[in-house]
Structure 1
């Protein structure tokens, strides 16, 4: 899969409060931190994951979707 064909939107679920927020993922960067807009919890990737989208999103980040390695 070409990176240009990847899905750009992923819904992040906060593990602290369960709030769901759909966010656009960058094609060329990892997102290491995300502040939940509902409760303010700062999310960071789980061990072994490259970004918050891979840990808490319903769609992994674009480099992983493309079958590559992330940051």
Structure 2
């Protein structure tokens, strides 16, 4: 299985989309939208903003199927 390291985050507030490189071995808990400046946090049950708002889940979830906590 190929791990994808680039994910497109979609802001749930304004709909702005931006491609970002995901950390390989860490969770990213916060992300600030480049358009409306909303501070995004993971939704309940997700380990990071990429799992909640990204086009791809974070690398630890992709490879191990478990959270990177």
So what's the TM-score if we normalise by structure 1? 0.91
Aligned with 2:52 (options 52, 55, 58): 55
Query: After the TM superposition, which segments of 4 or more aligned residues of structure 1 sit over 6 Å from their partners?
Result: none
Cα RMSD (Å) of the superposition?
A: 0.9
Q: CA deviation at 1:69?
A: 1.4
Supply the distance in 2 between the matched residues of 1:16 and 1:68 (Cα, whole angstroms).
28
Aligned residue number for residue 35 of structure 1: 32
Gaps (5+ residues) in structure 2? none
Deviation of 1:28 (Å)? 0.8
Q: 1:45 aligns with which of 34, 42, 45?
A: 42
Deviation at 1:55, TM superposition (A): 0.2
